[in-house]
Amino acid sequence: MANLTLVQAINLALIQEMERDDRVMILGEDVGPNGGVFRVTEGLHKRFGEHRVVDTPLAESGIIGTAVGLAMGGLRPIAEIQFEGFLGPAYDQICTHAARMRTRTRSALTVPLVIRVPVGGGIHAPELHSDSPEAIYTHNPGLKVVMPSSPRDAKGLLLSAIRDPDPVIFFEPKRIYRAFREEVPEDEYTVPIGEARVVRKGSELTMISWGASVIQCMNAIEASGRDIELIDLRTIAPFDMETVSASVRRTGRAIVVHEAPLSCGLGSEIASRIMEECFLHLEAPVQRVTGFDTIMPYYKLELEYLPDADRIGKAINEIVAY
């Protein structure tokens, strides 16, 4: 076991998979000698060489377009996009080509591609550096979307993503890149894509979250003193409705927490599915604690925008009292 941060766990996963499979390569802006904007790929250029760790121009459409072609040609590329706000220029390549290639060619061609993307707020970054656009990509069939909340899960999920035969967007919550450490197995292991993790058991209500918001949920639960079950989805496309449904049927109450704006966020889909599958078991309406329906503000108001333990705590009190 090694005591690692999220950044270190991802770096270890990349090293192990590149050593195991010489088809795996990395491309992106400053991923080479510089080690990436957050130093996630630090040391990989020296270890594996310029043909497997490739610096690219500042052109996200070119990065993903090239990666799609490499994947169709038999390699397993890992493309790094520096910030989630820069995914926009690559939307066509991701959703028109990577996501559809298997269907378009009747499985004659697949795109085993991982797109690594730092995501979310909390680091006082400027515009287009702090958004949470995961719902956009969960709405596109053909893509898997992953967002871990811990170093252990990050390593196991990334290994699963690299080995997946289809494209995976791997969102990395930058707020917790170096926020804490966790014991992570040094040997290879995988965490299945599409399988949620029950972080803690409880009987009073079910709380569902993913990414950095899981930490805020834990803080709120500890402050409340209540017996609350916390589910970390880990994979948000496809998400593990079976685990969510089983929990809500037991507790009778549900709160969904995420950083993205309220309207049409993934929380809306989860709430709808809970209503469809668990309606007769509910003791109160499903609540959502989310970002607001505004552009992510600059750093002085950033923490007012993000769900925190206080806002989550108010939702806990309201739903329990219902």
Say whether both 163 and 272 belong to one domain: no
Collapsing DSSP to helix, strand or coil, 292 comes out as coil
Helix (H, G, I), strand (E, B) or coil at 276: helix
Rg (CA), the chain: 19
Q: How confident is the model at residue 31 (pLDDT cuts 50, 70, 90)?
A: very high
Identify whether 87 is part of a domain: yes
pLDDT digits (tens, 9 = 90+) for 216-260: 999 999 999 999 999 999 999 999 999 999 999 999 999 999 999
Is the per-residue pLDDT at 126 higher than 90?
Answer: no
Could you tell me if residue 139 is inside a domain? yes
List the structure tokens of 124: 């006082």
3-state secondary structure of 133: coil
**Among 121, 149, 184, residue at a domain's last position:** 184
Q: Are residues 170 and 201 in the same domain?
A: no
**Alpha carbon of residue 19 to chain centroid:** 25
CATH code (residue 286): 3.40.50.920
Give the residue numbers spanning the domain of 259.
197-321
Q: Please check whether residue 320 is in contact with residue 291, taking contact to mean a CB–CB distance below 8 angstroms.
A: no
Q: What is the CATH number of the domain that holds 177?
A: 3.40.50.970
- Taking only the tens place, the pLDDT of each residue in 89-120 is 999 999 999 999 999 999 999 999 999 999 99
Residue 129 bears catalytic tag: yes
270 closest CA partner among 203, 310, 210, 321: 210
Supply the pLDDT for residue 45.
98
Q: Are 281 and 206 in contact (CB under 8 A)?
A: no
For residues 89-100, one letter each, b for 16 or more C-beta atoms within 10 angstroms of the residue's C-beta and e for the rest, the string is ebbebbbebbbb
The one-letter amino acid code at 288 reads R
- Whole-prediction pTM: 0.97
Residue 153 contacts by C-beta under 8 Å, 6 or more apart in sequence?
191, 197, 232, 234
Catalytic residue among 45, 129, 139, 281: 129
Task: For residues 175 and 224, state if they share a domain.
Answer: no
pLDDT tens figures, 62-76: 999 999 999 999 999
Q: In the chain, how many domains are there?
A: 2
pLDDT band at 289; cut points 50, 70, 90: very high
223 and 99 in a common domain: no
